[in-house]
Structure 1
Amino acid sequence: MDFESANPTVVKSIKQRDFLNTWLRLYARDHVPPAVAEFQPTRIEEDMPDLVFYTVDAAQSPPRLTIQSDGTRMASAYGHTGKGRLLDEYLGPRLAPIVMPVYYECIRRRLPAYTIAHIDDIYGRIVAYERLLLPFADGGDITHLIASLKTISEDGGFEIKNLMRGNDALPVPKLRTIIDRDLFHRAPGRIPSGDLLEFG
Structure 2
Amino acid sequence: MDFASADPSIVKSIKQRDLLNTWLRLFARDRSIPSLEEYRPERIEDELPDLVFYTVDTSAQLPRLTIQSDGTRMSSAYGHSGKGRYLDEYLGARLAPIVMPVYYESIARRLPAYTIANIDDIYGRIVAYERLLLPFSDSGNVSHIIASLKTICEDGGFEIKNLMRGSDKLPAPIVRTIIDRDLYHRAPGRIPSGDVLEFG
**Which TM-score band applies after superposition, normalised by the shorter structure?**
over 0.9
| Partner residue, 1:93 | 93
CA deviation profile, 1:93-151 (whole Å, cap 9, x unmatched) = 00000000000000000000000000000000000000000000023100000000000
**How far apart, CA to CA, are the structure 1 residues paired with 2:166 and 2:106?**
27
| Partner residue, 1:122 | 122
**How far apart, CA to CA, are the structure 1 residues paired with 2:168 and 2:61?**
30
Does the residue aligned with 1:108 lie in a helix, a strand or coil?
Answer: helix
- If the length of structure 1 is used for normalisation, what is the TM-score? 0.98
| Partner residue, 1:153 | 153
| Partner residue, 1:109 | 109
State the number of aligned residues.
199
Aligned-CA RMSD value: 1.0
Does the residue aligned with 1:155 lie in a helix, a strand or coil?
Answer: coil
Does the residue aligned with 1:190 lie in a helix, a strand or coil?
Answer: coil
| Partner residue, 1:135 | 135
| Partner residue, 1:83 | 83
- If the length of structure 2 is used for normalisation, what is the TM-score? 0.98
The answer to whether the aligner puts 1:51 opposite 2:51 as a matched pair is: yes
- TM-superposed deviation, 1:194: 1.6
**Unaligned 5+ runs, structure 1:** none
| Partner residue, 2:180 | 180
CA deviation profile, 1:59-106 (whole Å, cap 9, x unmatched) = 111000000001001000000000000000000000000000000000
| Partner residue, 1:163 | 163
Distance verdict in 2 for CA 1:198–1:168, change over 3 Å: closer
> Among the aligned pairs, what percent are the same residue?
78
- TM-superposed deviation, 1:153: 0.2
**How far apart, CA to CA, are the structure 2 residues paired with 1:75 and 1:102?**
19
